A and B are shown apart, each in its own frame.
Chain A
Amino acid sequence: MSEKDLGQKWDRCLADSAIKFGTGLGLGIVFSVVFFKRRTWPIVFGSGLGLGMAYSNCQNDLRSHYVLHSKVAKEQ
């Protein structure tokens, strides 16, 4: 993996983390106001979910260079 690819992957990771954190926060706020009587824990839970999804995406993206990719041949 070249330095340029690595840099782009890290940029994608950071942007993705920000987006997922914001989405999780927003959805947490919506759920907290609508269902859970404006408590704090859905907001924290949503943000945590977002960060976790971003971490998992980053991990897969950074590993994808070293993982064997295969295709299933169609049966004739």
Chain B
Amino acid sequence: MAAKILPVIKFATKVTIAGGALYVAYDSGLLGDGKEGSVALGRAKAAVPPAVEEWMKYFGFELPATPKIEFSPLDAWNSGVQKSIHALSVAPSTVSDYTKQGFQYVKDLTK
């Protein structure tokens, strides 16, 4: 009798695990609107440091302090875009200057 019930129990466990994961994702707003998603992200970011501290206390060792990274991808991207477009906009005048200088140099050589 136990051999007959075991597959059913296994299947029920699997369904519970998968259904639970799906429900957790749905309930925390991960599958909803964009605004709900950013709310969930904020909650997760706020919940990570206390959770890390709990784990550290449980295991009894100190994690090395995460180095503060001063790099901001947003600022880097924005400045990159501005520099590239500026370079493109001054490109014609720069090229003409360089060609004039080149011609002058060649003229001086042939004098």
Binding site for B on A (CB under 8 A): 12-13, 15-16, 19-20, 23, 26-27, 30-31, 34-35, 53-54, 57-58, 61
Contact = CB atoms under 8 A, between A and B. Distances in A.
Nearest to B33: A57
Interface residues of B, number: 15
A27 B21 contact: yes
Interface of B: 14, 17-18, 21-22, 25, 30-31, 33-35, 37-38, 40-41
A67 to B, nearest CB: 15
30 contacts: A12-B34, A12-B35, A12-B38, A13-B34, A15-B34, A15-B37, A15-B38, A15-B41, A16-B34, A16-B38, A19-B30, A19-B37, A19-B38, A20-B30, A23-B25, A23-B30, A23-B31, A26-B21, A27-B21, A27-B25, A30-B17, A30-B21, A31-B18, A34-B17, A35-B14, A35-B18, A53-B31, A57-B33, A57-B34, A58-B34
